[in-house]
Structure 1
Amino acid sequence: MNLIKKAISLLLFTCALMNTTSAQQKYEWKEGESGGYKYRYITNDPMKARFYTLKNGLTVILSVNKKDPRIQTLIGTRAGSNNDPQDHTGLAHYLEHLLFKGTEQFGSLDWAKEKPYLDNIEGLYDNYNHTTDPIARKVVYHQIDSVSGLAARYAIANEYDKAMASMGSQGTNAHTWTEETIYEEDIPSNAIDKFLAVQSERFRDPVFRLFHTELEAVYEEKNRGLDNDGRKSYELMLKTLFPTHNYGQQSTIGTIEHLKNPSLKAIRQFYDAYYVPNNMAIVMAGDFDFDYLIKRIDSSFAYMQPKPVPEYKAPVEAPITAPIVREVFGPDAENVTIAFRMPGALDVKSSTILNVLSQIMENGKAGLLDLNINRQQKVQGASAGLMQWKDYTVFSLSGKAKQGQTLEQVKDLLLGQLEILKKGEFDETLVKAIVNNAKLAELQGLDNNNNRASAMMDGFIKHRGQNWLTDVSAVDDMGKITKKEIVDFADKYLKDNYVLLYKRKGEDKNIEKVEKPVITPVEVNREAQSAFLQKLNAIPATPVKPQWLDFDKDIQKGKTGVADVLYVQNKDNGLFRLYYRFDMGSWNNKLLPLASQYLQYLGTDKYTTEQISKEFYNIACNFSVSSGTENTVITISGLQENFDKAASLFEHLLRNCQPNEQILATLKGRIQKGRADNKLNKGAILKGLVNYGMYGAKNPFNNQLSDADLNAITAKDLVDILHSLPDYKHTVIYYGPQSLTAAVASIKKEHTLPATFKEAPAAIKFAKADQTKNNVLFADYDMVQSEVNWVRNSSVYKPENTALISMFNNYFGGGMGSIVFQTIRESKALAYSTYAYYASPDKKDERYSVVAYVGSQADKMDDAITGMNELLNDIPRSDKLFETSRMSQKQDIETERITQDGIIFTYLASKKLGLTTDYRKTVYENIDKITFDNVKLFHDQNIAGKPYTYCILASEKKISLDNLKKYGDVKKVTLEEIFGY
């Protein structure tokens, strides 16, 4: 139910599929017919997508990918927060939540008895919506709560989730944004009939049951947004850029006033207006037969009747004639954003130029911000981005200040790079490199069904799929953009016509949280099952045979000098990935992560760092060096035709990088600023607090260089580490199109190795702490909500328990259909997000840990803790849910295909656990033997009645430390104790 997650993920893939004006001749619309259905397609479309329009106007877009026996499905409607009534903002998002609640056929024990109560509730909400007196509103709400409790006796909570889980669906979710609402499932390829049975029923006549508890989940979502400085900045930026357009005037989640006054009647009217076939699309990418699937979709959704759809009539915004400055205050780190209002997606020529322009500014390697700002460490970090909608596009530049730098100085640096762009002071060959890297991104994206489906759905939302030709030809047409066109475009659109948004540290005095209503827990009827679900489960499905890895056969092994080579061939395309995986990390040497980070800023005796970055980008290759706790991994990837160049260039950089004290001094300053920023970030604080609870005062999270140690490091110290890195033991991993013999020969030519490897320094050991009594670790943070993690360390890893633990996690707290989610969120409305699981270690001889979480309003924290403790101490029994969990887990394994270099990394992970075979086979063969009694015994022995460490992040203004003492001994943990600096 993430509101804007598509904003980032779509840009990553569709950057290579943006709209352009001139479709090349090799890309043409054609018509085809198969299985009695006509469709349209684009010649040379790498996705081979087919576009069907059914008789009722429903759009169906299909793309076959046989890599895995799974299908990514998206069902979308071209309606989002843009279409919300002005007096009921947030309505589209409400509706998205309610479309998980079922229909007359499923989600109900007895529809005839349930309906009168739901009708009564709808009328009460209408009354509540029009009541202004606070006391009278409480009386009406009490009636709503009472009648909702009666109605819930006939409701089957989460039956939709159970239905999807029983057929092996993964990633059950949905999101609402400005112009869209999309419903997402990743199903096994043998579940098509079951999937369509559920979805066609789901959209036939949804019932808005369990509304007041779901409404509380939306309240929680709103409050989480109020604690998110990034979300607040995003909304203020749009509000300022679009003073009349709904892009800025109607946030997706809605105003607090409207959240407090929902109308079920208005929600129904919205559904009737926009959820019609001529405004919707079904998009599927994966393993299926075109003819069978389109026939089944037509049969399932033919009942839908088209009708005219009220279009949002977008106002034309008045030009911005001078910078508009706004400020946002909050506890997180400071930053600055410069945002421009640009032509929208319907202006395809502008979209193409904008895409190229944005990547000239920043592409991660060779853009103006990359080379002139980030590579030279002039700010803490800078980036450029596009957010494209139908009517307008937002182009933005963002930056964080380093130590001793003001946000105003960062703003000037960002605008300075924009001036360089406008003067045309960039190499025109950069456009060619951008196109080559876009082709690489497109090739990589084809492997992933979600990338395919998201790109096709995005085309439908913006253009009803009519511009797919220009989407497909976009990469080629990007190459036609000239330097003059880019400069002219920048001169025309990038002036002093921007919104300047400063995110500053400080108290936000305007926050108004959504207050907690009184909610009586409702029945969830775990054991109940509708007749519809019984029929659904009876629909036959062709079994999918699981495929196990055979490490001896699936991985070839070789040697290059003293290094072992692990090899899997890429038979799909011309891409390679080469890894050097070292058996040491920060636990062996605290300087390794710093040295890895330092390398990206260094040049050699032959090349500057800018030249190295440009060269990698020009050959559509990349490199990275990452140091974890126990391993350091060098990754080189790209087009196989440029393998020698990439491997050789990296080897030269690693062996010949030159020390530079000035660069190191700047890096140290940025690290110090990053450390200060981390102390302002609630996610980082909570992660450190949980590590403290799991390991004690000295833990992996705060295993950091002290400020004194950091300041004492010299450039020579780090360069010596980098120069000598290949002399330490490491494994070479290759995934690419070359044969093993040819790959080894190529690697041997480029990668110089010693006669014998050096031994890595001994690693620090971190032992998990014993929880002998209840403890509370508290950290103070200025926030509306509270976040609570339960931590308990348990017994040592036993591979024979893997199937039982997997079954326990799936049943107890691992998803929306689990016991924890049903109880904490669906029944008691205590949280938006909650989970609990028994975490397995990644290494033999290490211990399991119990981890649980609830994020809730501060005034509900005690109730949330009580609710989770009840579940930790007593696991409820639901035979129906247990069998659903079993079926779901089996189907997950049956349809999982570990391929490419994933085979090698699965082998290495298994080896770390002391396993020599694919552990999934053991789980699969044993899961049918596991009973609820086995799971309950496991729960009783490892979880129930045990002492826990409560890790609590909240504001002392909202909760009482004295009150926390009832949970255990309380320790207020300082930020220095959490972070180690």
Structure 2
Amino acid sequence: AVYEEKNRGLDSPGRRAYEAFLKALFPKHGYGRPTLGEIEHLKSPAYQDMEAFFARYYTPGNMAILLAGDVDASVLPLLEQEFGQFKRPAGDANDNGPLPPIAGRTQVEVQVPSNEGVMLGWHLVSATAKDRAALELMDLLLLDGKSGILARELLITQKVANAGSGPTFMRESGYFNLYADALDGQSHGDLEKLLLGLVGKLQRGEFTDSDLATAILIAELNKQQQLESNEGRMQMLEEAFLVGEDWATVVDRIAQFKKVTRDDIVRVAKQYLTNNFVVVKKVKGTATPPKITKPGITAVKLDPSRRGAFAKSILDMPVSPIEAVSLKVGADYERSTLPTGDLVTVKNTRNGLFSITYQFDHGRTDERLVCLALEVLQVSGAGKRSPEQVARHLHELGLTVDTSCAKSYSYITISGIDRNLEAGMTLLREWLADPALDETIVKARVAAALTERANAIKSPQTISGAQAAYARFGPDSDYLVVATNKELQAATPAQLKASINKFLHRKHRTAYFGPRSQTEASAVIALGDGKVPTKARVATKFRKPNALFVTDQETAQTHVWAIWPRKSANDVDRAAGTLFGEYIQPILYQEVREARGLAYTVFGGFSAGGKKLDDASVFVYTGTQGDKTHDAVDAILSTLRQGVDESRLAQAKEAIGQSHRVERIAPRAIATTVFQWQDEGEKADPRAARTQRTLAFDKAALDKWMKGALGAPVIVSIVGDKKKLDDVKLKKLAPITVVPVTKLFGY
């Protein structure tokens, strides 16, 4: 598994660049060494050292017990009684190495197939240092997600393809990362100059007290949203433990921010963002990392029924089953209609934040330039307001407007502080009715889009995704149903304005989450008049199976998908597919990855499609070392063809039942989930009935279903080094078609 993960890293230009970045920042410290080790380490692994490291650090006394959920302080005495006697290991931890300061400007170059750019890095303080609060706010002044100095100077003005910043605080040190990706023809020197210009603005104090207050407001909103979910709370607890930060300090973070002054920001910018920094230049070229050959591995015979005494004692403990909870209309959410279409509202009882998503069944299939129009909207003004003024106004209101667009849908989302909802809706309607955009804005956005496309067709990850979509859907692939480069270049401001304006007239669905009642929200959140009806959505259908597609890429890892298309799923098919997925997933993982070491990633399951009439499918994926591809595929197929094991089926059913009992849909996600159920043909929460049908399947019924599903013709997608593939073996799966990268994209 470690060898396979290392291969994945070698195929990822982003990971290679970031490893080089950390190595330049911390050349003699553990922070600069990759977690997986260097290739030389993997060629001759010191197994005894690994055992010693595990014995020294992976101990009960070196761990934290973190709880987030339906618990309170009453559990603490029990935890103290049961676990308080564990002690940390004796002796000092290993020395992680020295942290010498960076001397001057230190440059490193990394070869990448696309996405040229620069990363600048400076040393910062550790997580518990007193300057941390000022440094975090310094970063939020630059970019708090959607706005800030960086957004106004580089992103909204479209001076770069992409840019961002972020501090990282650790136990012994920290660092600041400021980066930008190049537009076509833009030099690395130009990018570095633009980024250092932002640093200069911070050091000269070219921001207002209002900017600082807004940065604190955004930090407070982000924290409130993070605290809404168990996952968010757990993330805060985990980070505090890992970096050695006192929990009281974490809880008090916003109060600390409110004590930071403008002078504090200027001081830390001058003190830490000095002329001693690292520059990583991502330069177009072919990377030739040392080859890493995975050693032969003796297959391990697995016995999933085997349990140690300790595991058995835990699993045999009597417990009261958690009761499943279904969502109920009228209690957990409300259904209604607006003139524009269906409305689902969910009351936020935790804080004063809201989120509204407008879902339009209108995408590139219907209008090739609609996604470009929404991208241009994000960098346009509104009425007499410039793009920078719109961004600043939203920022000061504590509001965010996001758009997303794909082949068959478009979304507009507005979120933030409820007290500013009316002001936000007024601005959004003005923005859609009168977007202030001209030839310069459009040409700049098109230039950025062309750069993104040029990078995409050289990105191994993007190519893999595009080929898998082509194998499934042929000309209906998301990567092919797009405007061509010529169509983008021919787009006019008038065309894009007209496209944006129509969002005020299209029928759509509205998902509201916030502190207002359904009646109160309905009076404010309607977007447009809904006079333009929605076209009937065409069901998603797979191409005709019995086909194998190969795209040649000289990567260390090969990506393989096998898809068995099925007709749209009825209740019985969905139940069988759900049981199959839960049953087969751990078996594939154990047999292919753990027992044989043939893949880093392997998974399989069943997909019912997003909408009721969409095709369903059974699928398997593996990411494996190129020369192990056929062994991995053989292991997967032999695993799939095994008869259903009664004990493993019982384990799968227990897991499904347990998942159903403990699943809780976060309030913020309820409205969109209700619409998803509606798309699937369900009028109410279907989880209880679906679980019941799934658990009713027996061994004979699942066996029959699997044989029928896996005995059907297959679609296979393979992206990797073709020299390591054997056509004779591939032809046994399906007829081969070699697909060049250029055929995967509709540019």
| TM bracket (short chain) | over 0.9
Question: What one-letter code is carried by the residue in structure 2 that aligns with 1:827?
Answer: A
Post-superposition CA distance 1:806-845 (Å, at most 9, x none)? 11100112xxxx1111110111110010011121111122
How has the CA–CA distance of structure 1 residues 910 and 766 changed in structure 2, closer, same or farther, with 3 Å as cutoff? closer
Question: What one-letter code is carried by the residue in structure 2 that aligns with 1:839?
Answer: S
Question: What one-letter code is carried by the residue in structure 1 that aligns with 2:570?
Answer: K
Post-superposition CA distance 1:541-594 (Å, at most 9, x none)? 112221222346543234444544322222222111123222322222222211
1:301 Cα deviation after fit:
6.6
Q: What residue in structure 1 maps to residue 231 of structure 2? A: 450
Equivalent position SS for 2:650: helix
Q: What residue in structure 2 maps to residue 930 of structure 1? A: 697
Q: What residue in structure 2 maps to residue 679 of structure 1? A: 457
1:222 Cα deviation after fit:
1.4
Matched ranges for 1:302-321 at <5 A: 302=85, 304-313=86-95, 316-321=98-103
1:508 aligns with 2:287: yes
1:219 Cα deviation after fit:
1.2
1:732 Cα deviation after fit:
2.9
How has the CA–CA distance of structure 1 residues 318 and 547 changed in structure 2, closer, same or farther, with 3 Å as cutoff? closer
Output the CA distance in 1 between the equivalents of 2:668 and 2:132.
35
Output the CA distance in 2 between the equivalents of 1:803 and 1:763.
25
C-alpha contact (below 8 Å) 2:333/2:671 kept by paired residues: yes
C-alpha contact (below 8 Å) 2:429/2:504 kept by paired residues: no
How has the CA–CA distance of structure 1 residues 969 and 389 changed in structure 2, closer, same or farther, with 3 Å as cutoff? same
1:477 Cα deviation after fit:
1.7
How has the CA–CA distance of structure 1 residues 850 and 473 changed in structure 2, closer, same or farther, with 3 Å as cutoff? same
Q: What residue in structure 1 maps to residue 588 of structure 2? A: 820
Post-superposition CA distance 1:708-746 (Å, at most 9, x none)? 222221111111111121111123332211122222223
Output the CA distance in 2 between the equivalents of 1:440 and 1:764.
39
Question: What one-letter code is carried by the residue in structure 2 that aligns with 1:729?
Answer: K
How has the CA–CA distance of structure 1 residues 520 and 284 changed in structure 2, closer, same or farther, with 3 Å as cutoff? same
- Of 414, 425, 431, 1:636 maps to 414
1:292 Cα deviation after fit:
3.9
C-alpha contact (below 8 Å) 2:8/2:557 kept by paired residues: yes
Q: What residue in structure 2 maps to residue 389 of structure 1? A: 170
Equivalent position SS for 2:92: coil
1:439 Cα deviation after fit:
0.9
- Of 698, 707, 718, 2:485 maps to 707
How has the CA–CA distance of structure 1 residues 905 and 782 changed in structure 2, closer, same or farther, with 3 Å as cutoff? same
Instruction: Please provide the CA RMSD for this pair.
Output: 2.2
Q: What residue in structure 2 maps to residue 971 of structure 1? A: 737
Output the CA distance in 2 between the equivalents of 1:309 and 1:646.
58
Equivalent position SS for 1:266: helix
Output the CA distance in 2 between the equivalents of 1:536 and 1:468.
30
Output the CA distance in 2 between the equivalents of 1:526 and 1:562.
54
1:473 aligns with 2:252: yes
- Of 49, 65, 81, 1:266 maps to 49
1:262 Cα deviation after fit:
3.1
Higher mean alpha-carbon deviation, 957-966 vs 623-632, is at 957-966
1:323 aligns with 2:97: no
1:572 aligns with 2:350: yes
Question: What one-letter code is carried by the residue in structure 1 that aligns with 2:645?
Answer: S
- Of 376, 381, 385, 1:598 maps to 376
Q: What residue in structure 2 maps to residue 220 of structure 1? A: 4
Equivalent position SS for 1:450: helix
Higher mean alpha-carbon deviation, 952-961 vs 892-901, is at 952-961
1:492 aligns with 2:259: no
Output the CA distance in 1 between the equivalents of 2:371 and 2:220.
32
Q: What residue in structure 2 maps to residue 846 of structure 1? A: 614
Output the CA distance in 2 between the equivalents of 1:733 and 1:685.
34
Q: Percent identity?
A: 27
Matched ranges for 1:828-977 at <5 A: 828-872=596-640, 874-944=641-711, 946-959=712-725, 964-977=730-743
Post-superposition CA distance 1:64-120 (Å, at most 9, x none)? xxxxxxxxxxxxxxxxxxxxxxxxxxxxxxxxxxxxxxxxxxxxxxxxxxxxxxxxx
How has the CA–CA distance of structure 1 residues 451 and 733 changed in structure 2, closer, same or farther, with 3 Å as cutoff? closer
Question: What one-letter code is carried by the residue in structure 1 that aligns with 2:716?
Answer: Y
Q: What residue in structure 2 maps to residue 338 of structure 1? A: 120
Post-superposition CA distance 1:329-359 (Å, at most 9, x none)? 13343221111112222322x2111101111
Output the CA distance in 2 between the equivalents of 1:961 and 1:373.
49
Question: What one-letter code is carried by the residue in structure 2 that aligns with 1:458?
Answer: E
Question: With structure 1 as the length reference, what TM-score do the two structures score?
Answer: 0.73
Matched ranges for 1:525-544 at <5 A: 525-530=303-308, 532-544=310-322
1:761 Cα deviation after fit:
5.5
Equivalent position SS for 2:454: helix
C-alpha contact (below 8 Å) 2:539/2:614 kept by paired residues: no
- Of 542, 545, 548, 2:326 maps to 548
Output the CA distance in 1 between the equivalents of 2:357 and 2:240.
36
Question: What one-letter code is carried by the residue in structure 2 that aligns with 1:338?
Answer: L
Output the CA distance in 2 between the equivalents of 1:602 and 1:770.
43
C-alpha contact (below 8 Å) 1:602/1:658 kept by paired residues: yes
Matched ranges for 1:799-814 at <5 A: 799-813=571-585
Question: What one-letter code is carried by the residue in structure 2 that aligns with 1:913?
Answer: E
1:312 Cα deviation after fit:
4.3
- Of 245, 262, 268, 1:483 maps to 262
Post-superposition CA distance 1:39-83 (Å, at most 9, x none)? xxxxxxxxxxxxxxxxxxxxxxxxxxxxxxxxxxxxxxxxxxxxx
C-alpha contact (below 8 Å) 2:361/2:535 kept by paired residues: no
How has the CA–CA distance of structure 1 residues 293 and 926 changed in structure 2, closer, same or farther, with 3 Å as cutoff? farther
Q: What residue in structure 2 maps to residue 75 of structure 1? A: none
C-alpha contact (below 8 Å) 1:588/1:763 kept by paired residues: no
1:472 Cα deviation after fit:
2.0
Q: What residue in structure 2 maps to residue 653 of structure 1? A: 431
1:961 Cα deviation after fit:
5.6
Pairs aligned (count): 747
Output the CA distance in 1 between the equivalents of 2:340 and 2:692.
39
Equivalent position SS for 2:381: coil
Equivalent position SS for 1:283: coil
Post-superposition CA distance 1:872-921 (Å, at most 9, x none)? 3x134332222111111111111112242433222211221222232211
Unaligned runs of 5+ residues in structure 2 are: none
C-alpha contact (below 8 Å) 1:516/1:859 kept by paired residues: no
1:247 aligns with 2:247: no
Q: What residue in structure 2 maps to residue 105 of structure 1? A: none
1:740 aligns with 2:518: yes
Question: With structure 2 as the length reference, what TM-score do the two structures score?
Answer: 0.95
Output the CA distance in 1 between the equivalents of 2:103 and 2:87.
47
Output the CA distance in 2 between the equivalents of 1:926 and 1:692.
34
1:418 aligns with 2:199: yes
1:380 Cα deviation after fit:
0.4
How has the CA–CA distance of structure 1 residues 524 and 297 changed in structure 2, closer, same or farther, with 3 Å as cutoff? farther
Question: What one-letter code is carried by the residue in structure 2 that aligns with 1:807?
Answer: L
Output the CA distance in 2 between the equivalents of 1:899 and 1:478.
29
